[in-house]
A and B are shown apart, each in its own frame.
Chain A
């Protein structure tokens, strides 16, 4: 029996208990959420005990970091360092998006070293293996795709990203409508090429019941990926994107009927004024399934700073109801991130998630800000740093830009506003 089926029968599992405790909500809230599909707890029965993480309505917004082997220079030890950096920065989930090299070993390393949920995108490995075998990823056989999916699920992957909704109809619409950038997602582009080459409907769509069977067997959460996510602002909320979302909504319902936990993956490049509508549409079309958004970046031109652009979009999405943010690193659109850039990407995404939680009034979210501000008011530096989202970075900047001896900080020096006013308002004692 899957977790979703247990929840529907009124059973409260260890996972639900741990999530309820971590979130400070009632057991019934989690059980009802999992039963109704508005909360997912991605964890595979094939995997050793992990830290269960709840994603969904009424819970803290979560963050995922992507790593993986990509190209000839990639190596497993380097990617392991990135996983460590992401975990150290407080990511809630990891996705191993390896597209080349020893993909099996990389995945197994990720599963053994990260204690939270781990996701993969099986199509990548199937394409890579077909590339090796036939010298052409377009020659991939449907059977091979499902065999990779099963192999990854059997290894204990907690959530699988699958482009089940990219149908031929939608591909043709993208061409007809003149999408500016029709080939954004790596998986989506290859899948579309495969469909065109083989003159064949998307097998993840036509064989969706088979996808659900594998998911049921290992109780893997399905993450319905979008092949038509907007890759530039001009494509946001166009026909292909919205039509795919309609299809994904149908697939959400079928997954739930099969007792399989499901979430929906989305944007991309989205102008600020489209964000709320995007989240509202997803919620409406997908029956309140958790929304896993990439970024979104709010401009196309911030190459080198896309973690900042994504923090803007992620914060507004989280506020509007998206529950799961996929990080974007600074070198997105330029190259692959270093471990340090992975760490910054996770922090930027966590800032967005928290700003969203604060704005939507998530119980307890404001407490963190209040505690830090109180420490700031009394110039309690140790506490300010300890409460910071990245204490190590805060301590380092304080040391470097102010020195250790300053009572205030070097920005105001002896003219610290906090100090001056406390003296005359008699509101707080300054300590150091």
Chain B
């Protein structure tokens, strides 16, 4: 039985208990959320996870980090380090997006080392294998795609991004209106190319039930990949994107009916004034399924700083209802991130998620900030370090200057003010 079927049968699993305790909520709240599809707990049947992660309505906003090799950089030792860095920085889950070198070995390494849920995009491996074995990505067979999915599910992957919501309706919308940056999702691009070349409907859409069977067997959470996410602010909320979201909504209902946990992936590059509408549309069209968003990036013009453009968009999106933020690193649009980029990316996304939790009035979030505020007023550096999003920044901390007004001594006006307010 899958988590969602257990929940619907009224049973509270150990996973639900663990999530309830981490969130400070009742197990019944979590069970009801899983049963209704508003909460997912990604966990493969065959996997042990030390830090389970509940994602969805009423829960702390979670942060996902991306690691993985590419054809240009395929050292799995580097990626092992990035996983450790991402976990130390406080990510709630990680996705292995490898497309280069030993993809199977890389995935096994990630699954073995990660204490958090692990996601993947199986179409990458299927496409890369097709290129090697069949000479071209477009020669990939339906069987290749489903084999890759089954292999990765059997290996223990907890959630999979699969671009099922891409069909010819969506592509026709894209062709009819045109776009500045067309398709920027890698999986979406492979499938668009495959569909146009073979003149065949997307098997992941067309044979969606076959996919659901595999996912159900291993209790893998489906993350509906957004093949048509906007790659530039100019493309945000266009017909193609919305068509994709409508299709996703239909597939959410089918996954749910089949007893498979499902969330929906989304944007991309979105100007700030589109963010709230984007969240509302997703929640409405996808019946409250958890929303997993990339960024959102509030402008296109800041390569080298896209962790910052994403923190802006992610915070607003979180406040408007997004449940799960996929980090973006400073290397986005420019190359494969280093370990430092990974850490900066996780921190920026965590700040965005926390700012959104505060805006939503989440009690635990406000307690953290209040603790920090009090530590700051009393000048307690150790307590400030403890309350910080990244305590390590305090390690070599040396207060700049002698802001204590050494010239004045007790005659310092600020000290007089402090006494007045009862701060010593």
Please report A residues at the B interface, Cβ cutoff 8 Å: 70-74, 100, 127-128, 131-132, 134-140, 171, 174-175, 179-183, 186, 189-194, 196-197, 231-235, 271-273, 298-305, 307-309, 311-312, 315-316, 319, 331, 333-336, 347-348, 351-352, 354-356, 358-361, 366, 368-370, 372-374, 376-377, 384-385, 387-390, 393-394, 396-398, 400-403, 406, 409-415, 417-418, 420-425, 427-428
Closest partner residue, chain A, to B416 (CB atom): A193
26 A/B residue pairs, CB under 8 Å, sorted by A: A71-B400, A138-B413, A175-B421, A183-B414, A190-B417, A193-B412, A193-B417, A233-B366, A301-B368, A303-B394, A304-B393, A351-B299, A352-B312, A355-B271, A355-B272, A368-B300, A370-B300, A388-B304, A389-B302, A397-B330, A401-B337, A402-B72, A413-B100, A424-B193, A425-B192, A427-B179
Report yes or no: A421 in contact with B72, Cβ–Cβ below 8 A: no
Residues of A within 8 A of B341 (CB): 401
Closest partner residue, chain B, to A273 (CB atom): B359
Most A Cβ at <10 Å: residue of B197, B315, B332, B370 = B315
Residues of A within 8 A of B271 (CB): 355, 358-359, 366
B105 CB within 8 Å of chain A: no
Q: A193-B413, A352-B312 are known contacts; what are 14 more A-B pairs with Cβ within 8 Å?
A: A189-B418, A193-B417, A194-B416, A232-B372, A298-B358, A300-B373, A319-B273, A331-B400, A369-B234, A370-B180, A373-B231, A384-B333, A410-B72, A425-B174
Closest partner residue, chain A, to B186 (CB atom): A417
Report yes or no: B358 in contact with A135, Cβ–Cβ below 8 A: no
Report yes or no: B70 in contact with A412, Cβ–Cβ below 8 A: yes
A36 to chain B, nearest CB (A): 26
B202 to chain A, nearest CB (A): 13
Residues of A within 8 A of B376 (CB): 181, 231-232, 300, 333
Report yes or no: B308 in contact with A348, Cβ–Cβ below 8 A: yes
B106 CB within 8 Å of chain A: no
Q: A174-B421, A233-B369, A354-B301 are in contact. Are A421 and B193 (CB under 8 A)?
A: yes
Report yes or no: A304 in contact with B193, Cβ–Cβ below 8 A: no
Q: A183-B418, A232-B369 are in contact. Are A417 and B184 (CB under 8 A)?
A: yes
B13 CB within 8 Å of chain A: no
Residues of A within 8 A of B257 (CB): none
Report yes or no: A369 in contact with B301, Cβ–Cβ below 8 A: yes
Complex Cα gap A251–B181 (Å): 50
A83 to chain B, nearest CB (A): 17
B372 to chain A, nearest CB (A): 4
Residues of B within 8 A of A335 (CB): 397-400
Q: A136-B409, A411-B332, A415-B99 are in contact. Are A304 and B348 (CB under 8 A)?
A: no
B54 CB within 8 Å of chain A: no
Report yes or no: A135 in contact with B408, Cβ–Cβ below 8 A: yes
B387 to chain A, nearest CB (A): 6
Closest partner residue, chain A, to B355 (CB atom): A298
Contact with A along B356-392 (1 / 0, CB 8 A): 1011110000101110111011000000100111100
Report yes or no: B369 in contact with A299, Cβ–Cβ below 8 A: yes
Report yes or no: A71 in contact with B403, Cβ–Cβ below 8 A: yes
Complex Cα gap A422–B410 (Å): 71
A323 to chain B, nearest CB (A): 16
A136 to chain B, nearest CB (A): 2
Complex Cα gap A301–B352 (Å): 12
B363 to chain A, nearest CB (A): 13
Q: Indicate which residue in A311, A374, A427 contacts B311 across the interface (CB closer than 8 Å).
A: A311
Contact with A along B282-316 (1 / 0, CB 8 A): 00000000000000001111111101110110011
Report yes or no: B182 in contact with A398, Cβ–Cβ below 8 A: no
Contact with A along B176-198 (1 / 0, CB 8 A): 00111111111011101100110
Complex Cα gap A312–B312 (Å): 4
Closest partner residue, chain A, to B182 (CB atom): A421
Report yes or no: A131 in contact with B405, Cβ–Cβ below 8 A: yes
10 shortest interchain CB distances as A-B pairs: A71-B401, A136-B411, A401-B335, A304-B393, A336-B400, A413-B71, A193-B413, A232-B373, A373-B232, A402-B335
Closest partner residue, chain A, to B178 (CB atom): A427
Closest partner residue, chain A, to B415 (CB atom): A193
Contact residues, B103-153 vs A (CB, 8 A): 124, 127-128, 137
Residues of B within 8 A of A368 (CB): 300-301
Most B Cβ at <10 Å: residue of A70, A334, A358, A428 = A334
Residues of B within 8 A of A233 (CB): 358, 366, 369, 373
Q: A180-B377, A303-B393 are in contact. Are A72 and B301 (CB under 8 A)?
A: no
Residues of B within 8 A of A406 (CB): 72, 335
B155 to chain A, nearest CB (A): 21
A429 to chain B, nearest CB (A): 13
A275 to chain B, nearest CB (A): 9
Q: Indicate which residue in B127, B372, B389 contacts A305 across the interface (CB closer than 8 Å).
A: B389
A236 to chain B, nearest CB (A): 10
Residues of A within 8 A of B9 (CB): none
Complex Cα gap A74–B338 (Å): 34
Complex Cα gap A210–B182 (Å): 61
Q: Indicate which residue in B137, B300, B390 contacts A304 across the interface (CB closer than 8 Å).
A: B390
Report yes or no: B128 in contact with A415, Cβ–Cβ below 8 A: yes
Residues of A within 8 A of B337 (CB): 401, 411
Please report B residues at the A interface, Cβ cutoff 8 Å: 70-73, 99-100, 124, 127-128, 137, 174-175, 178-186, 188-190, 192-193, 196-197, 231-234, 269, 271-273, 298-305, 307-309, 311-312, 315-316, 319, 330-338, 341, 347-348, 351-352, 354-356, 358-361, 366, 368-370, 372-374, 376-377, 384, 387-390, 393-394, 397-403, 405-418, 420-421, 423
Report yes or no: A355 in contact with B373, Cβ–Cβ below 8 A: no
A196 to chain B, nearest CB (A): 5
Report yes or no: A413 in contact with B99, Cβ–Cβ below 8 A: yes
Closest partner residue, chain B, to A274 (CB atom): B359
Complex Cα gap A335–B395 (Å): 13
B305 to chain A, nearest CB (A): 6
A259 to chain B, nearest CB (A): 33
Complex Cα gap A89–B77 (Å): 36
Complex Cα gap A139–B411 (Å): 8
Closest partner residue, chain B, to A133 (CB atom): B407
Report yes or no: B414 in contact with A190, Cβ–Cβ below 8 A: yes
B198 to chain A, nearest CB (A): 10
A303 to chain B, nearest CB (A): 5
Report yes or no: A420 in contact with B128, Cβ–Cβ below 8 A: no
Q: A134-B411, A301-B388 are in contact. Are A412 and B99 (CB under 8 A)?
A: yes
Complex Cα gap A136–B301 (Å): 49
Complex Cα gap A354–B178 (Å): 26
Q: A413-B70, A413-B100 are in contact. Are A272 and B300 (CB under 8 A)?
A: no
Report yes or no: B359 in contact with A390, Cβ–Cβ below 8 A: no
B213 to chain A, nearest CB (A): 28
Report yes or no: B181 in contact with A376, Cβ–Cβ below 8 A: yes
Residues of B within 8 A of A308 (CB): 307-308, 311, 347-348, 351
Closest partner residue, chain B, to A374 (CB atom): B180
Residues of A within 8 A of B302 (CB): 347, 351, 388-390
Q: A303-B384, A411-B331, A413-B70 are in contact. Are A131 and B416 (CB under 8 A)?
A: no
Q: Indicate which residue in A400, A409, A421 contacts B192 across the interface (CB closer than 8 Å).
A: A421
Report yes or no: B192 in contact with A301, Cβ–Cβ below 8 A: no
Complex Cα gap A351–B180 (Å): 21
Residues of B within 8 A of A401 (CB): 331, 334-338, 341
Report yes or no: A189 in contact with B411, Cβ–Cβ below 8 A: no
Closest partner residue, chain A, to B347 (CB atom): A305
B157 to chain A, nearest CB (A): 20
Closest partner residue, chain B, to A69 (CB atom): B401
Residues of B within 8 A of A384 (CB): 303, 333
A140 to chain B, nearest CB (A): 8
Complex Cα gap A231–B361 (Å): 19
Complex Cα gap A55–B384 (Å): 36
